[in-house]
Amino acid sequence: MENKNMLASILFSLIGFMSIAQGPPPPPGFPIDGGVEVLFLVAIIFGALKIMRINKKET
């Protein structure tokens, strides 16, 4: 009988501790490194085409 009371009091105190516990952290932010490389590549290609067109008009 004493073991049941001891177990009940331990479980009762642990339930109270778990209900006050801190929640999970917020999810991480959205990574931007994947799209930046593609954008940089497109900008280089666009700039090269623009320079080629300007050079073609001058000659």
Q: Residue ranges per domain, the chain?
A: 34-59
Which pLDDT score is estimated for 29? 79
Task: Say how far apart CA 14 and CA 20 lie, in whole Å.
Answer: 10
Which pLDDT score is estimated for 40? 92
Which residues of the chain are under the pLDDT cut of 70?
Answer: 16-21, 32
**Three-state secondary structure of the chain:** CHHHHHHHHHHHHHHHHHHHCCCCCCCCCCCCHHHHHHHHHHHHHHHHHHHHHHHHHHC
Which pLDDT score is estimated for 2? 77
Which pLDDT score is estimated for 18? 61
Which pLDDT score is estimated for 45? 97
Please enumerate in sequence order all residues whose Cβ is within 8 A of that of 16, keeping only pairs 6 or more positions apart, or say none: none
Which pLDDT score is estimated for 17? 62
Which pLDDT score is estimated for 27? 83
